[in-house]
Structure 1
């Protein structure tokens, strides 16, 4: 199988609407909201759009702009965590304030340096205040471009991606990144803004409270016309929202609810979902695609049936979705985790299962994906499953995920080279944690994957590939200079040349370009392991 192709024997396609609904559940977790927040707010948005007389295409844009509107946020989790500590807690708190002026500034400064000693936190807050608007504007610009790219990768109408560029703009023109105002912002985004905030306050405080919040932000954050429609028909718009099966109800409203993807389209959308998750941290860039390719290659090496190869490939792509529910403050912590932090980490495979369990046709995939951190001696998580309870597919995915992770840097260690990773994997097999046959198959597959001596794409030099990987890992120009023992100005010039060759202008876009061109996961001068 070509690493970017479709598996021979891929099964019948999946429901596009269901996969996108599953993505929305992962987005919910990253926003600090319970799952089905975006599904429920999409229903609110659809009901408002109908009452405003929007045409079919506009209503389709409303539905998906609301469902995946915050998809770009998670690509900035690394930067957001560096500024505000717990990225998920910060996003959850933003729903409590009108995101402008002193209330928003107070919210931001209350999160800056959280968890640091008081004196260090004070310095961090002071430094942040000096450049607050610039820093937030940079984050928001990156978010908007990321959202558009990810929307396109998931096969959404171009109109959705275009609308998402306005997701941080406001009716009063005090938004970012461009300060658009009023009718200069697509009406679909005005509706999505109202539906998103209303759902949170409706769920947490009731209808009267939600209406009070809407009135207080009418004409500032929210379009008066949209706010007035909700005010007029609020009881009907929210009717039954908390009594119905919102998954079924929202999918009934999906504009492409009857669209079944081909096998090739299914794999392409699952790859887009993999990229969405891996962008959450620069330490995991390209991780899910790498695991998927390794697992599929190992399965073919063992002569597994074609459906099993497909299941393993897809399980590799989606196994990390639950990571969206764990803060980058935990994922990127350099020291040991506390008991509470470790419990959060242990639950992410179960979150993956909860996100994907309702997607018809993924049952066999989800069963395997949820067990990629289990070990045959019972030392794994989340359930401590052991021995014969772990199938051949479970054991193979566990070995593939472990090997791929060892090739990647982590906050507490550098990446291992292929030989070092292979030695570590064999040690785990000897210790009875990983299955020896699975380890051998993964290493056989990896021997083909790590060979490289063709020219780099886009005319990149070895040094520029090295620079690109550091950029993708979230390194600043100053940090790149220190890592490579060069001047900061030289590092900046290298970064600018890399961006120019790739046609990108920020870290997230550069990271996606690196994934697309197979430039993550290997040393710049890697050669085949003999």
Structure 2
């Protein structure tokens, strides 16, 4: 059955991943697409060619996480800062390129950077080829025209032929790539220094990095074009700007493939992460059938995209073998938030955002980024937290090897996670049985939650609202709890909870 999900809305939201990878403001790719597409319209391109410009701009840097490990290893550890600064540099000017590279390091490392200069062009060409090939692969999953793939493959080429990986120049560069280059240059420098600086740089880069004809078209009405790009809601503006006819996913399976592709691309952030998203997604789909209130499709998709936000954190932090500094740890704590905000921009992906942004939260409020407790964690978030933790334990990290299943299961059981979610994940993984702390009576996980909220003084109506269940279901649980705990009043139940270490703050 044909999907009713528009490609533009999903791609626009996911384009924020490439903004974060490059250390640029979220929404930059959307703003660039607004400028580039309008320039294509004003230049008289047909709607079909305008569409190629539109998608080439949104997806121009979609594969840029591919060489994060290499960028960090070769240029000082912070691949995010490397890209953010490099994008604002005219690397076709040798002195400007040298200042850029030596500015990435401190002290005697500057001498080592200068000594490595002869290697830099080869490293840049190799990285550009890899990033562009990954981006073109994502274009293929979307079923977009070959002109878009060809343009993404030329994301780092320049009009004057001094780009990478192939040194293509002038009219040999795909038309959509030339429009995208002007669009990005304009909005990048508008964000840094306003409209005057944007116009100055577009003029200065005209004939060098940029097609002079397209640059002049922009300069003829730079103010209006930049105002267009500053829409309060960039996502809505860029979806509305898609040239007709609008594109839709062929079927739900294609959307899954695209989400998997973007998850894979984010996992390229570090060799330690490769295969993580698909592994977690597979666990989610298998475990969903064993947990009430979890839709397998939603669970699977949440697993595919739960770690998109990792790209915003420098790879040197992810690959640090020793303890993180407080500032580094603070950056790491933000990656679930970034993942959730990427997805929340699109109505089709927004249902995944809540669980994804909370996949490092814990039942007792000890998780991150928000420190929310059990009552604010829906079943998908709880399952995702358990699946992500189990899969991570089984993967090597800079500070430890992959844990054997028995040790991983022991550690998983010790975390303050939903007990039913832990059981479901270990069953789905064919792992060892969990060694969960024993409860004083035979309570289910849901009964334990209701007990804690009753003991904390919440009414049945409040508990129903907190746990997203009906009041009659709360009443049924209450009857069972009182019977199992052999009490008949809330006060006695609160004493029972405190005596056995089950009390929790509502």
- Same fold judged by TM-score > 0.5? yes
For 1:191, the equivalent position in structure 2 comes to 179
- For the Cα contact (< 8 Å) 2:32–2:229, is it kept in 1? no
Q: Does residue 229 in structure 1 map to residue 221 in structure 2?
A: no
CA contact (8 A) 1:61 1:159 kept: yes
2:253 aligns to what?
A: 264
Q: Which residue of 2 aligns with 1:337?
A: 324
1:71 aligns with 2:58: no
Aligned to 2:290: 301
**1:83 and 1:56 mapped to 2: Cα distance?**
43
Partner of 1:520: none
Q: Distance in 2 between matches of 1:138 and 1:13?
A: 39
Partner Cα separation in structure 2 for residue 210 and residue 334 of structure 1: 41
Displacement of 1:127 in angstroms is 4.2
- How far the C-alpha of 1:60 sits from its partner, in A, is 1.1
Q: 1:181 aligns with which of 144, 169, 172?
A: 169
| DSSP 3-state at the match of 1:75 | coil
1:163-192 superposed Cα distances (whole Å, 9 cap, x missing partner): 112121111111111111111111211111
Quote the offset at 1:102 in angstroms. 2.1
Q: TM-score, normalised by structure 2?
A: 0.80
- Residue 44 of structure 1, CA deviation: 0.4
- Distance in 1 (CA, whole Å) between partners of 2:302 and 2:376 is 18
User: Per-residue displacement from partner, 1:52-80 (whole Å, max 9, x unpaired)?
Assistant: 22222221111111111011211111111
Distance (whole Å) between structure 2 residues aligned to residue 293 and residue 359 of structure 1: 24
Q: Which residue of 2 aligns with 1:278?
A: 267
**Does the C-alpha gap of structure 1 residues 230 and 391 become closer, same or farther in structure 2, counting only changes over 3 Å?**
closer
Unaligned runs of 5+ in 2: 433-506
Whichever of the two has the greater Rg, that structure is 2
Say which structure, 1 or 2, has more relative contact order (CA 8 Å, 6+ apart).
1
SS in 1 for 2:220: helix
Matched, 1:362 2:338: no
Is 1:107 paired with 2:94?
Answer: no
| Partner SS, residue 229 of structure 2 | coil
Q: Offset at 1:31?
A: 1.4
Distance 1:389 1:202 in 2: 40
Detail structure 1 runs of 4+ shifted over 6 Å in the superposition.
Answer: none
**Within 5 Å, which residues of 2 pair with 1:494-505?**
none
Q: Does 1:217 align with 2:200?
A: no
Question: Pick from 182, 188, 192: which aligns with 1:200?
Answer: 188
Write the distance in 2 (CA, Å) between the matches of 1:152 and 1:448: 36
Structure 2 matches for 1:100-499, cutoff 5 A? 100=92, 101-111=94-104, 113=105, 118-119=107-108, 121-122=109-110, 124-255=112-243, 257=246, 259=248, 262-302=251-291, 304=292, 308-428=295-415, 433-447=416-430
Q: How many pairs does the alignment contain?
A: 429
Find the aligned partners of 2:114 and 2:191 in 1 and give their Cα distance.
36
CA deviation string 1:188-243 (max 9, x = no partner): 11111111011111222222221111121111111111111112232332234324
Aligned to 1:179, the other structure's residue is in SS state coil
Distance in structure 1 (CA, Å) of the matches to 2:48 and 2:404: 50
- 1:174 aligned counterpart, secondary structure: coil
Q: Distance in 2 between matches of 1:142 and 1:243?
A: 33
Summarize the Cα distance change of 1:246–1:134 in structure 2 as closer, same or farther, 3 Å threshold.
same
**CA drift at 1:441:** 1.2
After superposition, the C-alpha distances for 1:458-480 in whole angstroms (9 at most, x for unaligned) are xxxxxxxxxxxxxxxxxxxxxxx
Determine the C-alpha separation between the residues in 2 that align with 1:353 and 1:11.
27
Question: 1:137 offset after TM fit, Å?
Answer: 1.6
